[in-house]
Amino acid sequence: MDNALRQTAVVKETVWGTIPPTPAWKICRETRADGVGINGRSRSPERTPHRMAAAMVQENTRFEVSAEFAWARDSALDIWLEGLLCNAWATNQLKNASTIQPFAMEIKHVGATSVYRRFPGILVNTAQFAWRIGGPGTVSFTGYAKDHTTGTTAIASSTYASPTPGHDPVSSPAVLINNLCGVTGPIATAFNMTVTNSIDLEYGFGSDKPQQMPLGQFDVSGSFSFYLKALADYDAFKTFAGGQVIDFTIGSVANNKDQLQLPNLDVWNPAVPDKASRGSDEVTVNFMGKYYATDANAMKLIRNVA
């Protein structure tokens, strides 16, 4: 089956682990996506007269999912972002909270007889955001599903919506820096951020599948780089700087831009690596997002920005 024809789609769930009876799938604009069931099996510890294994013991099973996207305003990506921030979009704003947003993922392998792999009950555990000079921004998700099913046909009454609105992925020239922790006139060169929900898998008697997936600590951390132009660019973070802000507008199409806001950051450990006589010096600093009482969040996304 041709990997280039592989199709990934997602649909929101109202009941965790239950695909809607008439699922309205949204096709993902992913660069790669996968799901796998990892069945726990181990050798039985019993002693045998021939020293070789005679039996295996069933252990717990987990279902891992992943997907990587080039950043673009997209309705399917919005579902992954809701899962990450544990909240629903409201008035085109998405703030991190603590209400799970489960969804299902379907991977279709196209062939003479197509193969469908489905992963209901997905909770997003982590996402890595990355921006570099030139190429598109990327966001890579990992998470856990509640179960794994298969088939050779689509679920009855399924519909599949094409990516919306379908604009080109956003690269660094279309990222506007509104605030980079107070640096004056910053020329940013890199941005990396990891967001995690610290999900735990909980099991119980009678099933090898996870019965609960409670959320743990919400963490936002990462680093950014910019060209060094003045002593203040370094001194501001030399020891520790609290209460800092990152604010980016992402995109070039009016009313289809995104905005990323990290309203309360601790920033520290500036580094200026030696480039061995090539290029300009760059400062790289670490950051961690904290609770922002004014808006009751540590991270906010805004969509359809003018």
Q: What is the mean pLDDT of residues 179-187?
A: 95
Return the pLDDT at 2.
85
Give how far Cα 58 sits from Cα of 35, 82, 147, 202, Å.
Answer: 21, 34, 17, 16
Please report, in angstroms and rounded to a whole number, the separation of the first and last CA atoms in the chain: 42
C-beta of residue 66 within 8 angstroms of C-beta of residue 83: no
For the chain, the average pLDDT equals 96
CA-CA distance, 199 to 201, in Å (whole number)? 7
- What is the C-alpha separation between 173 and 159, in angstroms, rounded? 36
d(CA 216, CA 17): 20
Per-residue pLDDT band for 134 (boundaries 50, 70, 90) equals confident
Contact present, 191 and 183 (Cβ < 8 Å): no
pLDDT for position 65: 98
Q: Give the pLDDT band (50/70/90) at residue 135.
A: confident
Q: Which pTM value belongs to this model? A: 0.95
How far is residue 194 CA from its own chain's centroid?
8
What number is the average pLDDT over the span 186-198? 97
Measure the CA–CA gap between 71 and 61, rounded to whole angstroms: 32
What's the token pair of residue 85? Answer: 């921030």
Structure tokens at 45: 């510890």
- DSSP SS3 for 187: coil
**How many C-alpha atoms does 36 have within 13 Å on its Cβ side?**
8
For the CA atoms of 148, 5, 139, 66, the dihedral, rounded to the nearest 10 degrees, stands at 20
Q: What angle do CA 252, 300, 73 make, to 5 degrees?
A: 35
Quick check: helix, strand or coil at residue 85?
helix
Q: What is the CA radius of gyration of the chain?
A: 22
**112 or 78, greater pLDDT:** 78
Which residue, among 218, 184, 178, 220, has the nearest Cα to 199 in the 3D structure?
A: 218
What is the pLDDT confidence band of residue 256, given thresholds at 50, 70 and 90?
A: very high
User: In this predicted model, what pLDDT tens digit does every residue of 239-255 receive, in sequence order?
Assistant: 899 999 999 999 999 99
Distances, alpha carbon 65 to alpha carbons 34, 42, 123, 131, 161, in Å: 6, 23, 9, 23, 21
Question: Model confidence at 3, in pLDDT bands (50, 70, 90)?
Answer: confident
pLDDT at 111 over 90: no
Give the tokens for residue 174: 């279309």
| Of 64 and 4, more confident | 64
CA distance 263 to 270: 20
Of the chain, the percentage scoring pLDDT greater than 70 comes to 100
What is the full DSSP assignment across 136-180? BPEEEEEEEES--EEESSPPTT-EEEPPSB-PPPPBGGGEEEEEE
* pLDDT tens per residue, range 261-270: 999 999 999 9
Domain extents for the chain?
3-38+60-153+170-204+214-305
- Per the CB < 8 A criterion, the answer to whether 164 and 28 are in contact is no
> Is the confidence at residue 112, as pLDDT, over 90?
no
- Rounded-to-integer distance, Cα 111 and Cα 99, Å: 39
119 pLDDT tier (thresholds 50, 70, 90): very high
Rounded CA separation 21/300 (Å): 32
The residue-averaged pLDDT of 173-186 equals: 95
DSSP string, 233-275: HHHTTSS-EEEEEEEEEE-SSTT-EEEEEEEEEEEEEEE----
DSSP 77: H
Rounded distance, CA 81 to CA 84, Å?
5
Residue 1: the pLDDT is 80
